[in-house]
């Protein structure tokens, strides 16, 4: 059985990895395609695969760091609260703060920082909605699908 500290670290790592994957996909698709379109409009043949990969890598790194920061803020500010007690705007703000800070440190551009902040807000709010939905399903699960007890 894991200690409470190890459980929190496992949760934070899982959240950071989830955000890294989602941010990588979102940044790769939006940044890579948008950059390719801009280059096409300038009559330059874009290296689409390279652009998508570069934006995906930057998004994944930003997502991992922002997700870890969000997990840290969440464990300190929402301790002893249930998912129903937390307002989506508050949850979103907790996700936007580390995304804004890391976005500014990484990019030093207001536009890209705003995009990172938006990603953080949406990712945090989406995480809350997904967690609430999973919690509701766990509560409503049929008894025949019950969990195994320790030692079974």
- The string of pLDDT tens digits covering residues 78-98 is 777 887 888 889 989 999 999
145 vs 42, residue with greater confidence: 42
Picking from 28, 24, 32, the residue whose alpha carbon sits closest to that of residue 65 is 24
Model confidence at 146, pLDDT cuts 50, 70, 90, reads: low
CA atoms within 13 A on the CB side of 110: 0
Write down the pLDDT at residue 46: 87
pTM over 0.85? The answer is: no
Position 64 scores a pLDDT of 95
For helices 48-77 and 88-107, the axis angle rounded to 10 degrees is 130
4: Cα within 13 Å, side-chain hemisphere: 2
Percent of the chain predicted with pLDDT > 90: 46
């Amino acid at each position: 059985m894991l200690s409470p500290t190890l459980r929190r670290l496992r949760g934070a790592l899982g959240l950071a990895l989830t955000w890294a994957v989602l941010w990588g996909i979102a940044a790769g698709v939006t940044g890579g395609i948008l950059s390719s379109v801009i280059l096409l409009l300038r009559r330059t043949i874009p290296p689409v695969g390279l652009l998508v990969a570069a934006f995906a890598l930057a998004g994944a790194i930003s997502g991992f760091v922002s997700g870890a920061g969000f997990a840290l803020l969440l464990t300190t500010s929402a301790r002893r609260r249930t998912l129903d007690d937390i307002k989506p705007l508050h949850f979103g703000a907790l996700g936007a703060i580390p995304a804004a800070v890391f976005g500014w440190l990484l990019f030093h551009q207001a536009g890209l920082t705003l995009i990172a902040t938006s990603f953080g807000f949406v990712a945090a709010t989406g995480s809350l909605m997904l967690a609430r939905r999973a919690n509701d399903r766990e509560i409503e699960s049929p008894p025949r699908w019950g969990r195994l007890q320790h030692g079974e």
